[in-house]
Amino acid sequence: MVIPKVVDNWSQLISGLGVMVRITPKVILEQILSASLNQFLQAEIKQQRFSFLPKQWVRIEVPDLAFHFSVTLNDQGRLKASLTPQPAAVTMRGNSASLLLMISGKVDPDTLFFKRKLMIKGDTELGLEVKNLLDTIELEGRLPKPLFRVTQATADAIVARPELR
């Protein structure tokens, strides 16, 4: 099966993704991130579950990808991503494998936090609001079925390889 080979070569995959992120023009990457977040989190946006975010930035750092971005809720009630450093109220940091496990629901954010795989610094209250909101999001039904299956299979393979987390 392909997934174990992907996980066996995780560091090369992450290195390649890091290169893609670095060579993609910032404006395009910001548009892709913003559009993807707004699409993926559409239900939460409609339910105004990001009401705590206007005029505040949350910085997300993925060190193994050498990638970071900031997110806020703009005046139109849409999420806006920025690759330009912003004055973040809170910074959340985790490697790609840990974040994939969290997003896939294989590991809850609290477990990652207490194992120091998810770092939160800055406004702790805001960080906890973001973390708790992320913890309620289910991938199933939000991603196309083939992508959901690949994400789940990859997360399962990572769970079996603790050295990647």
If you average pLDDT over residues 63-74, what whole number do you get?
93
3-state secondary structure of 140: coil
Q: Look at residue 83 in the predicted model and tell me its pLDDT.
A: 95
Q: Are strands 57-62 and 79-82 parallel, antiparallel or unpaired?
A: unpaired
CATH superfamily of 2-164: SCP2 sterol-binding domain (3.30.1050.10)
Please state, rounded to an integer, the average pLDDT across all residues of the chain: 87
Does residue 62 contact residue 99 with C-beta atoms inside 8 Å?
Answer: yes
Q: What is the mean pLDDT of residues 83-105?
A: 92
pLDDT of residue 2: 59
Is the confidence at residue 82, as pLDDT, over 60? yes
pLDDT tens column, 100-112:
888 888 888 888 8
In percent, how much of the chain has pLDDT > 90? Answer: 42
2-24 pLDDT, tens digit per residue, is 566 666 677 777 888 888 888 89
Q: Is the pLDDT of residue 119 over 70?
A: yes
Mean pLDDT throughout 25-31? 94
pLDDT at position 32 is 94
Query: Residue 160 has what pLDDT?
Result: 78
Domain boundaries, the chain: 2-164
Residue with the two structure tokens 């099966």: 1
The residues near 76 (Cβ < 8 Å, ≥ 6 apart) are: none
What is the dihedral sign for C-alpha 29, 110, 11, 7? Answer: negative
Rounded CA-CA distance 80/84 in Å is 12
Compute the distance between CA of residue 84 and CA of residue 14 in angstroms, rounded to an integer. 22
